[in-house]
Structure 1
Amino acid sequence: MRYLPIFLDLQTGPVLLVGAGDLVRAKLRLLLSAGARVRWFAVDGDYDAGLDDEAAVRVERAGDPLSADLNGVIAILCAGAGELGETVARRARAAGIPVNVMDDIAHSSFIFPAVVDRGDVVVAVGTGGASPVVARRVREKIESVLPARIGDLAAFIGRWRKPMQKLLPQMSSRRTFWERIVDGPIGALVLAGRTEEAERALRDIRDPQSYAAERGFVTLVGAGPGDPDLLTVKALRALQDADVIFYDDLVSSEVLDRARRDATRVSVGRRIGKPGMGQDATNALLIAAAREGKRAVRLKGGDPFIFGRGGEEVAALREAGVAYSVIPGVSAGIGAAAQFEVPLTFRKQATRITFLTAHKTHDAAAVDWSLLTDAGMTIVVYMGITAAPAIRAGLLAAGRSAKTPVGVFARVTRPDARAVVGTLSELPDLVEKIDGGPAILIIGDVVSHGLPWPRVVRELEDIRRDTRVLEPVA
């Protein structure tokens, strides 16, 4: 993040505006809508702004922005100023005044974001000046989901903050109290425009401490395979509400970045061949957090109920009498199939799917491979890198064809995702080409319909060892 979002109090001094044409007039309207006092230097001498109320605008008809008195000026803006903008920017920097030259990042010390204005709630969206169009699109998305009266709700809470600080001296209690207000019937009244009723309802709360009291709660959340954009809306809400987050090693940092910044984060993951926290210890942490009245999130890579031990954790929470909920996530197998366009089923060709996990060779040895020899069955193997030789041996010994298409898909949905495809006979060699896991193995004819297959094995009948690593296709 190169640009730190800040909010400038325009009541503390005037803004110097330099430029001409429609561009400077657009900036003028924006400044006036925020209550700014503006000193305007029109480089073309045309000060007709078409405004109903120009009392806040001081036009500098005879002035020169290069010699103007900058005492008290809190910011300088140039729009449609031509080459003069660069000179004004140098003077502003020398005087230590923030300056923006429209469409000229090199001479600007700050940039204008796309703004969502809901009164006391203002959202600023920026792209570091790289793409204002993208910023506007994001702003439009935000505007489409924000309630029209969200600013009224913020103002409502603002009026009651100081009284509640005396009644609820502990910050954690105040936060819980206001969250119940925002998410409950009182907040709904404000958003419906019934502010007087909301005021009465808030005054009628006799014991804010009891109102704020909340039982602990655990939410098992599927983090998906890595791409934070694959999180569900419910998962995002849970991450934003959490007091503490217990996360696996496979959860990406980008997903963790979507959590509330002041939430406590505790790693409880385990990786093959490395020490880690046992399942019983993790269960105990979840139960303890809930009994302390905290909202805990158990954040698990993929989906909690697909090789994620979510069932064991739910059983422990039930036995302890702890309230919980489960939010599903995109499993890594589904993520791999989607990213590399491998249909896990295909009409008249692949009509069944089996999901397996094989951490080690002895896991693969315990599988009854005779049940998986049907060419119409797609096999999706989780954590199968180490056991790849045993998986190949088991399937071949059971009668699955050595020519069966196979794909190894590593770090799926992440920027460094990779895919290697070939045949079952080549499986261990394919695993060696992906530069580390985690990885998903997909075995079955459906792999030949995927995106990597035509590029790598067009001549599979003649050259069975022709494989290469593919980057994900945008």
Structure 2
Amino acid sequence: MHALPIFMSLQGRRCVVVGGGDVATRKVTMLLKAEAAVDIVSPELCAELAELESQQKLSHIPALFSPEHLDGAVIVIAATDDEATNIAVSVAAKARNIPVNVVDAPALCTFTTAAIVDRSPIVIAISSSNASPVLARLIRTRIETMIPSTYGRLAALAADFRDRVKQRFLTTQQRRIFWEDVLQGPIAEQVLSGQEPAARLALEKLLEHESPMQNKGEVYLVGGGPGDPDLLTFRALRLMQQADVAIYDKLVSKEVLNLVRRDAEMIYVGKARDQHTLPQDEINQLLLRLAKEGKRVLRLKGGDPFIFGRGGEEIETLMEHGVPFQVVPGITAATGVSSYAGIPLTHRDYAQSCIFTTGHLKDGTVDLDWPALVRPKQTVVIYMGLVGIEQICQQLIAHGLSPDMPAAVVQQGTTSKQRVVVADLATLAEKVGQAEMKPPCLTIVGEVVKLREKLAWFDPDKSN
């Protein structure tokens, strides 16, 4: 993070803008929205600024800039087309320890203005640290379409009831859970649809009858996808943001973990072949204990929790003890990784079915259902098969697949570290060894692998 995002209260405080043209107008408009007392230093004003002056919304100092104009200012913005003036403003402001912004001159600034989504009192600021202001504005546009204009009313409702909720619920966790339920439930929908009186009445009744929220723990079994955070579902992201504690494994990417609520407790229970930070039974008991303590527990898994993610084993324990839970499917490695590798799992000319299998069983062997894996016109996707890749290839050939059958191994698919090795079954293990491939890897076997040469579209080296 190159800059600290902060929000400064400017109500009634003197802010100086040097310049009287169109660029200055944009900055003045922003300051007036923040209810600042704006003084403009400029020999002349454009028509729009002159109109604002006539309405007594700002003060005009009709002069060339002088350092004394900054006395008493809390921030200053230079918005002239004269480089010497802009430099002088920057030097004078820095000498007085006044935050200064010089439009389109990052080197002269001590602060920058952001692209803003205004849902007052909710305000969202997006900055690219001057790397790409256009991109920041494009992101703002996307956010604008996602957040209703009435979100400000929802925040105002919460502010009106804040003290009463604080009196009603004694702990921070109880209050947070209460507000999360309200702000994501029917009351919030009433506000967003313009039924604010009904929402206030419903909130009044809820506070009268709601008992203190104790032992309302819950487990969220969430699929974190194959690595790229953009592949998360909306529901997964929402639950990741409201969890008290996150339990995650080795296959969850750093980029996905960064989206978990910042103050959530993070517990790593990663698994690798023959190496377990916590045995599965202990993970099951950990989920159970934390939920019974009243916590909202995020069980975050790579891919999909029900495809080689042991999600079924975990919810069995929760169901036996009556602990509420949610399961959020994720894009499994088979679909995500194959797509980013340019290998469709089915194709009318090559494969009419697809089978997923694990590269090793619970006892650590690779004694798979080989006859089922060598059927014609199908694609075989092998999870966790890197360690046994040589034996897997030998067995597939021994049970009927051609040594020339195309195959691929994809390492850290969908991420910036994606690597792909393509070969035939006879040489795949050797080439994987030469490439020094490391977990997590996915193996794809079938005629569809031929299509990668034509369909490969994701090249992390070119995207960096």
Structure 1 length-normalised TM: 0.90
Deviation at 1:40, TM superposition (A): 0.7
Contact 2:342 2:456 in 1 (8 A): no
Partner Cα separation in structure 2 for residue 246 and residue 40 of structure 1: 54
After TM superposition, which residue ranges in structure 1, 4 or more long, deviate above 6 angstroms?
A: 452-455
Q: Which runs of 5+ in 1 are unaligned?
A: 456-469
Deviation at 1:419, TM superposition (A): 0.7
Within the alignment, does 1:112 sit opposite 2:143 as a pair? no
Which shifted more, 43-52 or 158-167?
43-52
Which shifted more, 215-224 or 371-380?
371-380
Counterparts in 2 of 1:111 and 1:208: CA distance versus 1, 3 Å: farther
Counterparts in 2 of 1:17 and 1:304: CA distance versus 1, 3 Å: same
2:25 match: 25
Partner Cα separation in structure 2 for residue 73 and residue 81 of structure 1: 22
1:221 match: 222
1:231 is aligned with what amino acid?
A: L
Residues 375-386 of structure 1: pairs in structure 2 closer than 5 A: 375-386=376-387
Tell me the secondary structure at the aligned position of residue 413 of structure 1.
Answer: coil
Which shifted more, 294-303 or 207-216?
207-216
Residue in structure 2 matching 1:442, options 436, 441, 444: 444
Counterparts in 2 of 1:216 and 1:360: CA distance versus 1, 3 Å: closer
Contact 1:232 1:329 in 2 (8 A): yes
Residues 194-233 of structure 1: pairs in structure 2 closer than 5 A: 194-205=195-206, 207=208, 210=211, 212-213=213-214, 215-233=216-234
Residues 132-147 of structure 1: pairs in structure 2 closer than 5 A: 132-147=133-148
Contact 1:15 1:75 in 2 (8 A): yes
1:150 is aligned with what amino acid?
A: Y
1:7 match: 7
Counterparts in 2 of 1:9 and 1:403: CA distance versus 1, 3 Å: same
Partner Cα separation in structure 2 for residue 358 and residue 303 of structure 1: 17
Residues 276-291 of structure 1: pairs in structure 2 closer than 5 A: 276-291=277-292
1:317 is aligned with what amino acid?
A: L
Which shifted more, 268-277 or 235-244?
268-277
Tell me the secondary structure at the aligned position of residue 211 of structure 2.
Answer: helix
The one-character-per-residue Cα deviations of 1:184-233 (angstroms, maximum 9, x if unpaired) are: 33333332333333333333445476164562211210001111111000
The one-character-per-residue Cα deviations of 1:62-117 (angstroms, maximum 9, x if unpaired) are: 3x433224332111111233202122112212211111111111111111111011
Counterparts in 2 of 1:182 and 1:129: CA distance versus 1, 3 Å: same
Partner Cα separation in structure 1 for residue 363 and residue 287 of structure 2: 31
Partner Cα separation in structure 2 for residue 451 and residue 336 of structure 1: 16
Partner Cα separation in structure 2 for residue 365 and residue 75 of structure 1: 67
1:22 is aligned with what amino acid?
A: D
1:26 is aligned with what amino acid?
A: R
Partner Cα separation in structure 1 for residue 139 and residue 209 of structure 2: 38
Structure 2 length-normalised TM: 0.92
Tell me the secondary structure at the aligned position of residue 307 of structure 1.
Answer: coil
The one-character-per-residue Cα deviations of 1:128-184 (angstroms, maximum 9, x if unpaired) are: 111122111111111112122111111121122223323323111111222222223
Counterparts in 2 of 1:304 and 1:374: CA distance versus 1, 3 Å: same
1:159 is aligned with what amino acid?
A: D
Deviation at 1:235, TM superposition (A): 0.4
1:70 match: 70
2:317 match: 316
Partner Cα separation in structure 1 for residue 3 and residue 95 of structure 2: 20
Deviation at 1:43, TM superposition (A): 5.6
Tell me the secondary structure at the aligned position of residue 36 of structure 2.
Answer: coil
Identical columns (%): 38
Partner Cα separation in structure 1 for residue 14 and residue 171 of structure 2: 40
Contact 2:23 2:79 in 1 (8 A): yes
2:73 is aligned with what amino acid?
A: V
Partner Cα separation in structure 2 for residue 360 and residue 188 of structure 1: 47
Partner Cα separation in structure 2 for residue 452 and residue 358 of structure 1: 28
Residues 324-343 of structure 1: pairs in structure 2 closer than 5 A: 324-343=325-344
Partner Cα separation in structure 2 for residue 165 and residue 16 of structure 1: 40
1:424 is aligned with what amino acid?
A: L
Tell me the secondary structure at the aligned position of residue 403 of structure 2.
Answer: coil
Contact 1:216 1:323 in 2 (8 A): yes
Counterparts in 2 of 1:205 and 1:276: CA distance versus 1, 3 Å: closer
Counterparts in 2 of 1:383 and 1:33: CA distance versus 1, 3 Å: same
Contact 1:168 1:208 in 2 (8 A): no
Partner Cα separation in structure 1 for residue 365 and residue 371 of structure 2: 13
Residues 183-202 of structure 1: pairs in structure 2 closer than 5 A: 183-202=184-203
Residues 39-438 of structure 1: pairs in structure 2 closer than 5 A: 39-42=39-42, 46=46, 49=49, 51=51, 54-62=55-63, 64-83=64-83, 84-205=85-206, 207=208, 210=211, 212-213=213-214, 215-359=216-360, 365-432=366-433, 433-438=435-440
Deviation at 1:353, TM superposition (A): 1.2
The one-character-per-residue Cα deviations of 1:308-338 (angstroms, maximum 9, x if unpaired) are: 1111112111212222121111111212211
The one-character-per-residue Cα deviations of 1:242-294 (angstroms, maximum 9, x if unpaired) are: 11111111111211111111111111221124342011111111111222222
Which shifted more, 174-183 or 296-305?
174-183
Contact 1:410 1:417 in 2 (8 A): yes
Counterparts in 2 of 1:290 and 1:360: CA distance versus 1, 3 Å: closer
Contact 2:215 2:292 in 1 (8 A): no
Contact 1:222 1:302 in 2 (8 A): yes
1:11 is aligned with what amino acid?
A: Q
Partner Cα separation in structure 1 for residue 45 and residue 114 of structure 2: 28
Contact 1:378 1:443 in 2 (8 A): yes
1:438 is aligned with what amino acid?
A: P
Counterparts in 2 of 1:161 and 1:232: CA distance versus 1, 3 Å: same
2:171 is aligned with what amino acid?
A: Q
Say how many residue pairs are matched: 459
Deviation at 1:306, TM superposition (A): 0.9
Q: Which runs of 5+ in 2 are unaligned?
A: none
Tell me the secondary structure at the aligned position of residue 273 of structure 2.
Answer: coil
Contact 2:41 2:65 in 1 (8 A): yes
Partner Cα separation in structure 2 for residue 171 and residue 141 of structure 1: 33
1:403 is aligned with what amino acid?
A: D
Partner Cα separation in structure 2 for residue 430 and residue 315 of structure 1: 41
